[in-house]
Amino acid sequence: MKVAAVVLAAGRGKRMRSSVPKVLHRLAGRPMLIHVLDAVRQVADGPVVVVLGPGMEAARTLLPPDVAVAVQPEPLGTGHALTCALPHLEGSQGHILVVFGDTPLVRPQTLRALVWQHEREGNAATLVTAWMEDPTGYGRVVRGPCGTFARIVEEADASPELRAIREVAAGLCCFERGTLWSVLPEIRPDNVQGEYYLVDAFRILRERGHRVGILQVEEAMEVMGINSRKELAEAEAELRRRTLEDLMASGVTVVDPATTHVDPRARIGPDTVLLPFTVIEGETTVGSSCTIGPGAHLIAARVGDGVRIWWSVVEHSEIGDGSRVGPYSHLRPGCVLGRGVEVGNFAEMKNVRIGDRTKVHHVSYLGDATVGQDVNIGAGTVTCNLRYGVPGKQPTVIEDGAFIGSDTMLQAPVRVGAGAVTGAGAVVTKDLPPRAVAVGVPARVVRTTETKPEG
């Protein structure tokens, strides 16, 4: 049957002590709401609705276009929030999956298991529970004879005896569509908080004689709601642990998991080694047999096979097979390195294409440049891509086999021909023809590489 989904994300999260809505706090580089949506959209094949509170426009901009938004105008409880989503579910058939937006560790396989059990048992509703050593803040699950569901009691309404129960309602549940439509109007705010509790729907259904099923998860952390900065940090650590375990199982060596951070979206090939203090963010791809780290920071990078990167930053750039970057290099967005390229100490690049086997070893800046194959960039070389009074960045082209001497300044726009040579300290202000040898300030051509030097 079709599965629609509602993500309840209207809470502000007072305990976060932040002007940022709780579900927009980041976990592994992305808002926790997006983590929840990723899991939900792998299960739901019907409409997906996110319920937001007023003033949460920042959340709207993050949502995919196929996700509907409902607004809960007042914080009147989870039952009321779900009611706000109903207009967006008109015409949907099958089951309705309900997930809280502050449970970023929930796995798609758990949601699938919930829907499968709900359908297999023919339940009117099925809820997920967990056993917690410290159940503070959660509704307690009261079971009847033979372990069947009886009711859920919110902590604020629970007696000391009920608060001692350690099985809690996790906030994940599945309803048969028609049953949900009929039971929501019967929920009343007859509680200490004066709110419409969604958990009351299970009690009402049970009293009517409907079957309410329970799926108890093994790991309570998976369904933990994030309500504080401390819990956010705990969730971050858990997500990092899962990611690194998956990588190691796939053939990646992680030398020190405690000091290694990898985004769950990253893809890393087998026999690659991640050394301590490595951070890999975004949709980074790393090939096989690479050595990344120590101290490497990759952001949305694409790295080929057999690459070595250490004590360097690579942002939104591509690195070809067998290349080496580091130490203390910075590849800013837009760089594309060919195969066997060497980028060394304190070299910085931005929006540069570099051909195979080219070397940029020492204290250089290349910006808005195209560099050919087998080029040597001497220490201290700078492409002067910004000129006073000229709008925009200016390009530099260095053709195959050129040799750029130490401390050369290339005043863009300028082209250095194939096989050309610049002397140390040259300031190149005009195009150099192929095989030219240029020296001085401004640089002038004194001979070609095919001409014997005088004397």
* Residue 362 is among the residues annotated as catalytic for this protein: yes
Question: How far, in Å, CA of 433 to CA of 439, rounded?
Answer: 14
**What letter does residue 193 receive in the DSSP assignment?**
T
Give bridge partners of residue 376 from the DSSP assignment. Answer: 359, 403
- Measured over the CA atoms of residue 270, residue 271, residue 276 and residue 277, the dihedral's sign is negative
**What letter does residue 381 receive in the DSSP assignment?**
-
Question: How far, in Å, CA of 107 to CA of 250, rounded?
Answer: 19
> Six-digit token pair at 237?
């650590």
Question: How far, in Å, CA of 343 to CA of 321, rounded?
Answer: 13
Question: How far, in Å, CA of 70 to CA of 85, rounded?
Answer: 5
Is residue 355 within 8 A of residue 400, CB to CB? The reply is yes
Nearest alpha-carbon partner for 19 in 51, 58, 72: 58
Active-site residue identified among 210, 316, 361, 362: 362
Q: What is the DSSP string of 337-362?
A: E-TT-EE-TT-EEEEEEE-TT-EE-S
Catalytically active residues are: 362
